Structure 1
Amino acid sequence: MPHGSAPVRHTVTLADDLRPAIDPGHYTIEVSQDVTPHGPSQVSLTGACQEFVVESPQFTLDSASIYAQYPPPGATGDFSTVLPHITLNQATRPWERSITSQRDESHIPWLALLVVTDGSLVADPDTRQWITTRPVQSLKGTAPDGVVLPNLTVDDIAGVDDSCQTVDIKLAAVQDLMPLRKELRWLTHLRQVTKQGKKIAALGEGWQPGQYGVVVANRLPRTDGHYTALLVSLRGHGGYPYLQGDQPLPPRADRVRFVVLASWSFDSKARAEGTFGDVVKHLAHEAKLDPMLRLRTRPVDHPEARDRLADGYVPLVHRLHGGEDSYGWTRGPLTPVVPQNPLPPGERDAATTWTCADAALIYSEHYGLFDVSYAAAYTLGQTLALANTSLAEAVSRYRREGLRAVQQAAAAREHGLDGGSEGTRSLFDSWLAGDARMPSELSRNIQQLAKKAYAVPPSSAARARVEPVTPAPARALREMAARTAESPLAAACEAALEEVAARHRPHVAHAGLTWKDLLPAVPFSFLVPDMEMLPAESLRFFHVDPYWFDALIAGAAGQGASSATDVVLTSRLLAGAFTDEALPEGGVLIRSRLIQHWPDLVLELPSDMPAPHTFAMAPDIRLLLFPKWPQTLVLREPPHALNFGIDTSLDGKDHGAINLRWVSGEKTGEAKNEAFKPVDQCLRGISPGSGLDRPQVFNLCGTGTPLVPALTSQLKQPIAPAGLALQLMNLAYCATFKRSTT
């Protein structure tokens, strides 16, 4: 899910065309000069001649020349109100050639976008494919039986040894679908985009600065089925009757062969998944009822149940240690309210000393029920650590080195070597420097140690009177566990252990002991205990509970802890920060077809909001975590969804409508708050047997009720191709969601 800051203003200018300054072809520049000096003689200078070639694709089009296509290739959806189109990076491409060699028709585009069904195509008998690769030279000469070839000139194919893609379309379908000659210019336009301000993420078609040539189809895919959009060359077809030419068709002609410059397929299925607008409107309406992540239930009279449900808890069966079944409450880390510290004051880090899940249970004395939320998180952390061998090894390595450091520090303190290794090194440095006292001091220390080691054991009577002596490391760990490390021994051990913990925290974090590493492995049922909290087609805001993640991390770090010593070592490991990245404050869960069917869905946030952490929990579920709580967020249709078409269904009560825009003045492009309808009166009839059961081809300038004159009449001013494109342009849909203040 791409994200960006608040929208940036862009200026979009539409123009009727952008003709190249010079047509493709071979040219010769000749320069000559005669000089007539003062007097009877005349000087003639040698002239110059320069040949050059202006090239432009005619039979093939590089895929890099295509900026965007709509509907997207391979898409499935309700495209019954959409006019497919293709956007070309080379702005002059649609006007670089003409459909005939006549100069007076250079304003007619040589490209057309035809939208056909499989029933309109004729497969090649050899390849059994609709679109076939052929030598360009095969387009000139004797046509196969029943095939209409483009009437290309010798100059068109001279010296061209390349291949091209072609398609054969049934003649009846061509007569139904081909725009009239005078309609071709209305189906192309120039788009120029300039920006103001900084660029945002996920910019797409229509908003990327530059100039583009756009070719629009004249057919609405009104009937459910599979469609192929074909960008075809009309070069050489201008003389035939289907383009109002006077050149007769070959005998027995039943199909027309076109050069294909680009093609893609899509499936239109009315109301298959609903349009983006339909889905997001439902999402917004559903969120208005309550945008926070909690169960929606009937009013509850019991105060405990009412408060718990409002705070995001769900009831569950809780089996007690004695075997009795009771019920309790649980909640995940995503809460509808600001989490409160469930521990007594001053015990924010009590989770670091938990030795089992039972220590994390919260008991409600008034109702005799348990809150098992943090106990479940602790147990889950242990389970996740078991599955992560790298983490288990990193924690075990730390415990071994931590215990060794405590033992060494205790021994050093016990025998007066407070300085640890540094103190020992300084003693030897003094000895090597010639300190005469060192040999005698060292000798006395060794003698004292020997006396202790080889002393005669006391008698049984004496032993009975001797109090047991706790080893120094054990005494230090006992004080550290009780958090009363006030003695010099415990303080020295504490410092030694912290040194080891600080050194190991980055390694343990790298092995996976951070919220960001553990979260993807958390089962979704722990995040959302009841799916009724996040029904289909819903959006929910939430706060993040840091105490739940404390319990999760404590359980993961405490996996394998089998003694009080392990508990002390684990607590010191958890006492410091593993990462500089703080736990997010809140976020949003989205469960919708928007996620699955619009993967490039754009999320817009305030300009000062950092990018969210995004987790794919299921094909139709996204979890977004924000460092700071956003007051609003905007879901915007993917940028490639800029398209052309009508605004309401042809099968609705209006029989299709186009929401009109101002075409001149200061309000150019803004909505006029009026609509042109019904649109179906401007659709061209279909020939019997064509397989098109309902009219779906626009009549732009023909007989009957053509669209262009009808729009001109309602707008009360003439329009040009750019003006028609403005009326038919549908911009990306967006919806703004605001979270609750609770």
Structure 2
Amino acid sequence: MTDTTTTEPTKLEFIQYHQPALKDGDYEITVEQKITDILQIQEKKIQEKKIQEKNTFTITRTFSVSGERFELKPTDIHAVFPPNGSLGEHSHVLPHIILNRSTLPWERIPFKSQVDTNNNLPWLALLLFEEEEKPEPKIITLGELKNPQLNAGKFPKIVDKNEKPPTNESYLQLESGQNENNKLTIIDVQKQLLEKILPTKDDLEYLAHVRQGTDDAGKLVGDELAIIIGNRLPEKGSISTVHLVSIEGRYNTHNFNFQEAKDDDYIRFVSLQSWSFACVDEKQSFKGLLAHLNREPSILRLPKTDNPEAEQYLSMGYIPLPHFLRQGSKTFSWYHSPLIPGQHSTDTITLPIRAADELVCYNPDNGMFDISYAAAWELGRLLGLQGKSFSISLYNWKRSHKQSIKCVESAIDSHLPFHNISNIELPSEISSWFENLSLLKGIPFNYLVPDEQMLPVESIRFFWVDPSWIECLLDGAFSIGRVTTSDHTDDINHNKNNTSPAVNPHEMVTGFLLRSDVVAGWPGLLVDGYSKVVDNEHPIPNEDKLELLRMDRLSANVLICLFKGEVKTVDIHQKPETLHFGLDSDDEGKTFYKKLKTPEGKPIEKKVDKIPWKYQEKQEKRVININELANLIKAQVDKSSTFTSAQFALEMIEGVEKVRFNITH
């Protein structure tokens, strides 16, 4: 069994290919047994005489190796890059797709038969289309692909499983389990466009490889993944669409078989996966968006004002809000959310209470109320009542707990043994509900950010979590069933005896809110928080890393992160699978080159100055001559050995982008 660990990989190994034990298809196996009779042994020589009748026994069995051919399941796809629907500066990136099964690209072949040529080439390829070029995907049946309509795109002849294949044209022979009712997606591409963007047979050798993570000790981490790379750069200022297409049986010994198509004719492909993304200017890239975030002020509060008395409250995160009093009159009162600009310094509040009004504070100097904790308590009560099953479970537990305590007290007073006392342990669903509430899960957004000016578009704001606000919130939820004085006394006893779930489990919590297109465009963001300030890009020791208590998208473009302890440095970066392949560029993407690395992955002072473009080096379609680029890289990096797709991937890979923030209050 493969020795794997559960840690995050610290290194990546690139492997040229991973051939399956058997290619997909139908197989026949025959077993033959011969029986002989030993007549005699003379002079240490065995003389045999075959039994004349029925001395040979034979049995034949057929079996199928069934794999994906005309469609892929969602579980076959690990990730794509650029991400589907993303918005960023991708004009220097070669799109790629990551497949969960490392043998998938080599389970079939792009040629008519396995004896035609190199069987290490993939049967999958990526085609990138600009907005005005993109074909319209169509869902048809395998029967319609087999018997196409007049003027349909050219496609190899499909023959049945037991049908004799043609010898003078390309074909695909159906396998067990494939029938004419199977649905698939096809695209039709005009030949004159396809000739410009399709990888050549020599290109295919470098456009698929396998990736495996390892730790520092060399142990394998995670699974092997197969990667298919495209050969075309997206166009800046445009929406690009990428199709993963099957090229099984489409190439002959020299190159792609266009089946005598004319320039205006269409070539049909089976599309196994597709996605789209937008390529915009550099400021809209991952790093560009984060680098240009609004950080003034850096903490969660309203902008500064010239009014000293108002500024005193605003600096603590307060905001004046309309307040409707019980008598029907209106006023304005101060409110602050649980996310405050600095460390909490309010005196400890005595809980539990019987009504939210006990938490309303009045400032006689300015004649205004502070309703922050009263609002928190009332919100907790409403959230508790909102969940019918939770409120009933909590009420029943409190009642059972009270009855059990009384039974024990009665037995002790009467000096009698007590039996069959019901289980008063807090149900896990109640404790987990309170734990989630302590991390502000389920809190309406306007309670967290009561004014949009506190979190403008494309901004990041850091904060402390007010523990008193959290305690009031939890006590409000725990107040279900707290009606009489006796009920209030029981809840006080819960606090004294440490049986109340309404206890804030975290002494100090800090975090940030991010409102940016980065949240929507890069859904797989990773965030690391540290307890020390590091103002450079050097790695930070793990012992300074803080526990990430919560990381959630509150809306399409708003992210909240909570850390255990005081966070002083935050790194926002992409997931490891967003390691991508591409070129380096100058002059706003007008001139491309490629910086090179050693076979061990270390940067060197060498580069490919002139990128070879397909068709007389024309850059207009941004299609790279992959084979020629590989030869140029090999000439500068390693002339002595065979240059494979693994080495090409190592040279073309670009690191995960990371942006670091230092917190200053």
TM-score, normalised via structure 1 length: 0.64
Q: Does 1:525 find its partner at 2:446?
A: yes
In the TM superposition, residue 222 of structure 1 has moved relative to its aligned partner by: 1.8
> Which residue of structure 2 lines up, in the alignment, with residue 219 of structure 1?
232
Q: Distance in 2 between matches of 1:389 and 1:17?
A: 56
> Which residue of structure 1 lines up, in the alignment, with residue 340 of structure 2?
335
Q: Distance in 1 between matches of 2:271 and 2:471?
A: 60
In the TM superposition, residue 249 of structure 1 has moved relative to its aligned partner by: 1.8
> Which residue of structure 2 lines up, in the alignment, with residue 312 of structure 1?
317
**Stretch deviating more after TM superposition (598-607 or 16-25):** 16-25
Q: Does 1:87 find its partner at 2:8?
A: no
Q: Secondary structure at the match of 1:594?
A: helix
In the TM superposition, residue 576 of structure 1 has moved relative to its aligned partner by: 5.3
Q: Secondary structure at the match of 2:206?
A: helix
> Which residue of structure 2 lines up, in the alignment, with residue 171 of structure 1?
191
Identity level (%): 20
Q: Does 1:292 find its partner at 2:299?
A: yes
Q: Which residue of 610, 620, 626 maps to 1:700?
A: 626
In the TM superposition, residue 337 of structure 1 has moved relative to its aligned partner by: 1.9
> Which residue of structure 2 lines up, in the alignment, with residue 374 of structure 1?
373
Unmatched tracts of structure 2, length 5 or more: 1-5, 159-164, 530-541
Q: Deviations over 1:248-293 (max 9, x none)?
A: 72689823344x372323243535993333333334xx45x65433
> Which residue of structure 2 lines up, in the alignment, with residue 194 of structure 1?
214
Give the direction of change, closer, same or farther, for the CA distance of 1:717–1:567 in structure 2 (3 Å limit). same
Which structure carries more helix by proportion? 1
> Which residue of structure 2 lines up, in the alignment, with residue 542 of structure 1?
463
Which structure carries more strand by proportion? 2
Q: Which amino acid aligns with 2:156?
A: P
Q: Deviations over 1:465-518 (max 9, x none)?
A: xxxxxxxxxxxxxxxxxxxxxxxxxxxxxxxxxx99x97997996797788179
> Which residue of structure 1 lines up, in the alignment, with residue 561 of structure 2?
624
> Which residue of structure 2 lines up, in the alignment, with residue 725 of structure 1?
649
Q: How many residues align?
A: 612
Q: Which amino acid aligns with 2:555?
A: A
Q: Secondary structure at the match of 1:635?
A: strand
Verify the 8 A CA contact 2:287 2:657 in the aligned structure 1.
yes
Q: Secondary structure at the match of 2:299?
A: coil
Q: Distance in 2 between matches of 1:355 and 1:250?
A: 81
> Which residue of structure 2 lines up, in the alignment, with residue 592 of structure 1?
516
Q: Distance in 1 between matches of 2:140 and 2:345?
A: 68
Q: Secondary structure at the match of 1:722?
A: helix
> Which residue of structure 2 lines up, in the alignment, with residue 662 of structure 1?
597
Give the direction of change, closer, same or farther, for the CA distance of 1:93–1:568 in structure 2 (3 Å limit). closer
> Which residue of structure 2 lines up, in the alignment, with residue 150 of structure 1?
156
Give the direction of change, closer, same or farther, for the CA distance of 1:694–1:531 in structure 2 (3 Å limit). same
Unmatched tracts of structure 1, length 5 or more: 1-5, 124-128, 200-206, 343-347, 410-418, 430-498, 688-692
Q: Deviations over 1:331-366 (max 9, x none)?
A: 222222221233xxxxx353445766266415365x
Q: Distance in 2 between matches of 1:92 and 1:136?
A: 26
Q: Does 1:281 find its partner at 2:216?
A: no
Verify the 8 A CA contact 2:207 2:645 in the aligned structure 1.
yes
Give the direction of change, closer, same or farther, for the CA distance of 1:96–1:250 in structure 2 (3 Å limit). closer
**Stretch deviating more after TM superposition (723-732 or 129-138):** 129-138
Q: Which amino acid aligns with 2:363?
A: Y
> Which residue of structure 2 lines up, in the alignment, with residue 232 of structure 1?
246
Q: Which residue of 121, 127, 132 maps to 2:140?
A: 132
Q: Secondary structure at the match of 1:214?
A: strand
In the TM superposition, residue 582 of structure 1 has moved relative to its aligned partner by: 0.9
Verify the 8 A CA contact 1:357 1:378 in the aligned structure 2.
no
Give the direction of change, closer, same or farther, for the CA distance of 1:61–1:330 in structure 2 (3 Å limit). closer
Q: Distance in 2 between matches of 1:250 and 1:620?
A: 47
Q: Which amino acid aligns with 1:537?
A: E
In the TM superposition, residue 91 of structure 1 has moved relative to its aligned partner by: 3.0
Q: Secondary structure at the match of 1:698?
A: coil
Q: Which residue of 613, 627, 638 maps to 1:682?
A: 613
Q: Which amino acid aligns with 1:682?
A: W
Task: Answer with 1 or 2: which has the greater Rg.
Answer: 1
Q: Distance in 1 between matches of 2:559 and 2:135?
A: 45
In the TM superposition, residue 229 of structure 1 has moved relative to its aligned partner by: 0.6
Verify the 8 A CA contact 1:26 1:53 in the aligned structure 2.
yes
Q: Distance in 2 between matches of 1:399 and 1:37?
A: 97
> Which residue of structure 1 lines up, in the alignment, with residue 550 of structure 2?
613
Q: Distance in 2 between matches of 1:68 and 1:18?
A: 17
In the TM superposition, residue 232 of structure 1 has moved relative to its aligned partner by: 1.5
Q: Distance in 2 between matches of 1:261 and 1:231?
A: 4
Q: Which amino acid aligns with 1:94?
A: W
In the TM superposition, residue 116 of structure 1 has moved relative to its aligned partner by: 5.2
Q: Does 1:256 find its partner at 2:191?
A: no
Select the structure with the greater relative contact order (CA < 8 A; seq sep ≥ 6): 1
Q: Which residue of 588, 597, 605 maps to 1:653?
A: 588
Give the direction of change, closer, same or farther, for the CA distance of 1:647–1:371 in structure 2 (3 Å limit). farther
Give the direction of change, closer, same or farther, for the CA distance of 1:561–1:724 in structure 2 (3 Å limit). closer
Q: Which amino acid aligns with 1:275?
A: S
Q: Secondary structure at the match of 1:541?
A: strand
Q: Distance in 1 between matches of 2:46 and 2:328?
A: 128
Q: Distance in 1 between matches of 2:431 and 2:152?
A: 71
